[in-house]
Amino acid sequence: MQQMDWITKATEMAIEYAPMVLGALLTLIIGFLLAGYLTRIARKAMEKRNIDASLVPFISSLINVGIKLLVLLSAASMFGFEVTSFVAILGALAFAIGMALHGNLSHMAAGIMVLFFKPFKVGDFIVAQGYSGTVREIQIFNTILNTLDNRIIIIPNGAITSGPIENLSANPERKVPMTFSISYAGNIDNARKVIKEVVEGCPQIIQTKETDILVSQLADSSVNFAVRPWCKTEDYWDVYFYMH
């Protein structure tokens, strides 16, 4: 008899709560899919309006997270939760999670600082925390670099802002420092002449600015020349490999 009562109660509860559970699940599934869809639309709209490329992934992430939070609130309300009470609970959970994920919050704050003060932007070539590469994205918690050999480096924003950042794209023009050597049997004037001819033959070198061609060191078995031509920042590696 007791078993029958238990089965009856279980059946009644299933009938009572099944629509709510199903509705909440559908809300979560559709809502999360919609969040991704709307985020993609927002991203494309920002790109069409030529919004700063550094801000696009950051804002997209915030939109995605914001929509998903609204979806969670909607799903919770289907179970009879008061939204205000749920927000209070969510706030308490956020505080607890925030304390547990203190490092992640600092990375987020660092990301906002990067976007506000702009020590670098998307497309810049930087050196930070021992890594170098072109900035591909500045996200909420991380900055993504693309290296010269096409590797992806993901660096937490807090780590980037905690040390020196060398932005090699900050100035429109830069020098290309190189060293060339000849033996002591060679002729220094002839070597300087040959280097100058190579410099003048490179189309990416700015010919209106003087190129340094100096004897920098008398080494054990060679005479070393320091050569420093000027070029546009984006032509740096073209000049470097042309000269070599």
CATH code for the domain of 152: 2.30.30.60
52 assigned to some structural domain = yes
pLDDT recorded at residue 241: 93
Phi, psi (deg, nearest 5) at residue 212: -75, 125
Q: Are residues 182 and 230 in the same domain?
A: yes
pLDDT digits (tens, 9 = 90+) for 200-224: 999 999 999 999 999 999 999 999 9
Query: Which residue, 167, 239, 178, is CA-closest to 206?
Result: 239
From residue 150, alpha-carbon distances to 124, 196, 211 in Å are 15, 33, 31
Q: Give first-to-last CA distance, the chain, whole Å.
A: 92
Structurally, how many domains does the chain consist of?
Answer: 3
Q: Is 182 among the domain residues? A: yes
pLDDT tens per residue, range 22-44: 777 888 888 888 888 888 888 88
Q: Is residue 114 part of a domain?
A: no
User: Under DSSP, is residue 168 helix (H, G, I), strand (E, B) or coil?
Assistant: coil
- 193 and 236 belong to one structural domain: yes
Query: What distance lies between CA 75 and its chain's CA centroid?
Result: 33
Same-domain pairing of 52 and 70: yes
Q: Are residues 9 and 90 in the same domain?
A: yes
Q: Does the reported pTM lie above 0.75? A: no
In this prediction, residues 10-21 reach a mean pLDDT of 66
Which of residues 182 and 68 earns the better pLDDT score?
A: 182
Task: State the residue range of the domain holding 230.
Answer: 173-243
Q: Tokens 């029958």 label which residue?
A: 4
Q: State whether 22 and 86 are in the same domain.
A: yes
Q: Do both 182 and 146 map to the same domain?
A: no
Which residues lie closer than 8 Å to 132 by C-beta, 6 or more apart? 125, 126, 145, 147, 148
Q: Kindly state whether residue 105 falls inside one of the protein's structural domains.
A: no
Query: Is the domain of 11 the same as that of 91?
Result: yes
Higher pLDDT, residue 56 or 18: 56
Model confidence pLDDT, tens digit, residues 132-141: 999 998 887 8
Residue 143 sits in the same domain as residue 127: yes
Shared domain check, 92 and 25:
yes
Q: Does residue 158 lie within any of the structural domains?
A: yes
Residue 113 inside a domain? The answer is no
Domain-terminating residue out of 167, 199, 225 = 167
Residue range 100-123, pLDDT digits in tens:
445 566 777 777 788 778 899 989
